[in-house]
Amino acid sequence: MTTEVEIDAGRPARGTLGTRIAAVVILMVAAVVLADAIRIATEGGFGPSQPGFFPLIVGVGLVVFGIAFLLRTTAMPDLPLRAQAQEEHAGTRWRTLWTAIIGLVAYAYLMDPLGYIIATTVFFAAMSRVAGSRKWLRDVVVAVLFATAVYFGFTELLGVRLPAGLLGI
């Protein structure tokens, strides 16, 4: 890992913008978690045994972490962190990352109409292809076995109903 970082006075170093965006996203997630926690807590109370207590703790923790991370990327820059961010930025395969994100969003939307088993099978097989696997038959077989095992494990053993979708199981 490189510890020396070239810093241009007027411009953030490459990779710094990404860490700042990550800090802001953490703060935005914290705001959503806190808003939901307060909504839940007003209906059920703020006590440790109430349903809003744990989300409230998580939201406060995210705020603290997000502010600390934002400070370390702006006001009190962490040069080793900046160097690591630059290295990671240079080595990131952005097309693969965005394909996976789009695939995850599509998976979430297809879960209800197709059902857990079909949607998960398609998602796992597609993501293994995106990750570089070229053995599609193996990937589909593993995806079907895994999705089916998880589906029946949750629905039959744990009593958590996952969407049955087209299979109507």
Q: What is the pLDDT of residues 150-169, one digit of tens each?
A: 999 988 888 888 888 887 77
Q: What is the pLDDT of residues 131-153, one digit of tens each?
A: 889 999 999 999 999 999 999 99
Retrieve residue 95's tokens.
């097309």
Mean pLDDT across the chain: 83
pLDDT value at 22 more than 80 = yes
7 in a structural domain: no
What's the structural domain count of the chain?
2
Residues 127, 104: Cα–Cα separation, whole Å: 9
**Could you tell me which residue, 119 or 10, shows the higher pLDDT?**
119
**Are 99 and 121 in a shared domain?**
yes
Residue at a domain's end among 65, 91, 117: 91
**Are 64 and 100 in a shared domain?**
no
Question: Torsion over CA of 88, 93, 94 and 97, rounded to 10 degrees?
Answer: -100
**Are 113 and 61 in a shared domain?**
no
4 in a structural domain: no
pTM above 0.85, yes or no: no
126 in a structural domain: yes
Residue at a domain's end among 91, 120, 141: 91
pLDDT value at 3 more than 70 = no
pLDDT value at 15 more than 60 = no
Retrieve residue 51's tokens.
């349903």
64 in a structural domain: yes
Residues 51, 12: Cα–Cα separation, whole Å: 42
Q: What is the pLDDT of residues 31-90, one digit of tens each?
A: 999 998 888 877 766 677 777 788 889 999 999 999 998 888 788 877 787 778 778 777
Residue at a domain's end among 91, 125, 142: 91
125 burial (CB, 10 Å; 0-12 / 13-18 / 19+) is: buried
Q: What is the pLDDT of residues 83-135, one digit of tens each?
A: 787 787 777 788 888 899 999 999 999 998 999 999 999 999 999 999 889 99
Q: Which residues constitute the domain of residue 119?
A: 94-167
111 in a structural domain: yes
**Are 85 and 129 in a shared domain?**
no
